[in-house]
Amino acid sequence: MNPSIEAAAVAASNAVPAPRPPSQPGTQHVILVVDDAIDTLHMLCDALVGEGYAVLVARDAEEAVQRLDVTVPDGILLDAVMPGASGFELCRRIKATPAWSHVPVLFMTGLAETEQIVEGFSCGGVDYVVKPLRIPEVMARLATHVRNARAARLARVAVDIAGMGAVVLDNVGRIAWRSPQATRWLAEAFESVAAPACLAWLAQAVTCGQNTTGLLDGRQLLARHVGMSGYAESTVLLDMANLGERLHKIALTPRETEVLSWLAKGKTNRDIGDILGMSPRTVNKHLEHIFEKLGVETRTAAVAAADRVLRT
């Protein structure tokens, strides 16, 4: 790094920060500034430290990736045109890396043409400011996006803490974001999270409002569409249900629970008998007891009743 820029970074790190923005009490956010112009870096470092931020600087995309490998910032101010890889290319890389994808990227550009502005948004940027920079405007926009990104991140973490998973689908059915818990469950239920069967199952949940799929150990993965989370994005909440635990409340025996579990997967009496090592007649006897306890008369009604219990 250029010695003068290194000195600016050290000065920014060692400076005594001004009072932090009221919206983020007790928290010092880290901002990465990526720009090949020394004057711009000096100006932004001074302004950011004055607002209570910790600052990292980089002169190009390569240096920016090095900084990101060390720490994940709360926001990025990114020059659109730099030597080597452009800011647009760097932004695409950031958004394609799960550990960095949540960080809001604000472009700084002298390009005011519509095509460049559209490219900035299409590659994952959340906002842009035109050079020469108006520092109060930059600080106001940055604070808003950092605050919103933090709130979204905390909400997603809360979903995981609550024992549920969350998936956000874009307007063409691709997974735009997923929580760690959702990743684990989808990997258990499908060949991979990106597998066509997984995406089709999630899309069905959006279309019908909910969907379920069974696992070999008797658990069921439940998906519930909870609405739109942004422009053309749909949010699906996931929950893992243990059929045996949920059906215990209606006093099914362990063997009856096993029979009902395989019935829910579409197995015939003969199939269930082969799997559980009993005769089809014994399977039918178990089904009679299950129907009586569930208050139903048909196989289809039994599966539907079990599904209702799982959703309670």
Residue 47 confidence (pLDDT): 95
Residue 40 confidence (pLDDT): 92
Unique residue bearing structure tokens 């063997």 = 255
pLDDT tens-place string over residues 154-195: 666 666 656 678 888 877 788 877 888 888 899 888 988 888
Cβ-contact 220, 240 below 8 angstroms: yes
Nearest to 124 by CA among 95, 151, 102: 95
Between 167 and 309, whose confidence is greater?
Answer: 167
What gap in Å lies between CA 74 and CA 170, rounded to an integer? 23
What value does the mean pLDDT of the chain take?
80
Residue 261 confidence (pLDDT): 80
For 196, half-sphere exposure in the C-beta direction (CA atoms, 13 angstrom radius) is: 0
| Topology given in CATH for the domain delimited by 251-310 | Arc Repressor Mutant, subunit A (1.10.10)
Q: Is the pLDDT of residue 26 over 90?
A: no
Q: Where in the chain is the domain with CATH 3.40.50.2300?
A: 3-157
Tally DSSP H helices, then E strands, for the chain: 13, 10
| Topology given in CATH for the domain delimited by 3-157 | Rossmann fold (3.40.50)
SS3 call for 107? strand
Q: Is the pLDDT of residue 4 over 50?
A: no
pLDDT tens-place string over residues 50-67: 999 999 999 999 999 999
Residue 116 confidence (pLDDT): 81
Cβ-contact 211, 198 below 8 angstroms: no
pLDDT tens-place string over residues 37-49: 999 999 999 999 9
- Global model pTM greater than 0.75: no
Q: Where in the chain is the domain with CATH 3.30.450?
A: 162-243
Residue 30 confidence (pLDDT): 93
Burial class (CB in 10 A: 0-12, 13-18, 19+), 135: middle
Most confident of 18-27, 101-110, 135-144, 156-165: 135-144
Between 257 and 189, whose confidence is greater?
Answer: 189
Residue 86 confidence (pLDDT): 93
pLDDT tens-place string over residues 198-250: 999 999 989 888 888 877 666 778 888 887 765 567 888 888 866 555 555 56
Q: Where in the chain is the domain with CATH 1.10.10.10?
A: 251-310
- Residue 94: which pLDDT band, with cuts at 50, 70 and 90? very high
Long-range contacts of 248-255 (CB under 8 A, 24+ apart): 249/309, 250/293, 250/294, 250/309, 251/293, 252/290, 252/293, 253/289, 255/286
What gap in Å lies between CA 303 and CA 264, rounded to an integer? 5
Q: Is the pLDDT of residue 139 over 50?
A: yes
Task: Give the pLDDT mean for 111-120.
Answer: 80
Between 252 and 212, whose confidence is greater?
Answer: 212
User: For domain 162-243, which CATH number applies: 3.30.450, 2.10.260, 3.40.50, 3.30.43?
Assistant: 3.30.450
Q: Compute, in degrees rounded to 10, the torsion defined by CA atoms 193, 198, 200, 206.
A: -80
CA 173 to chain centre: 14
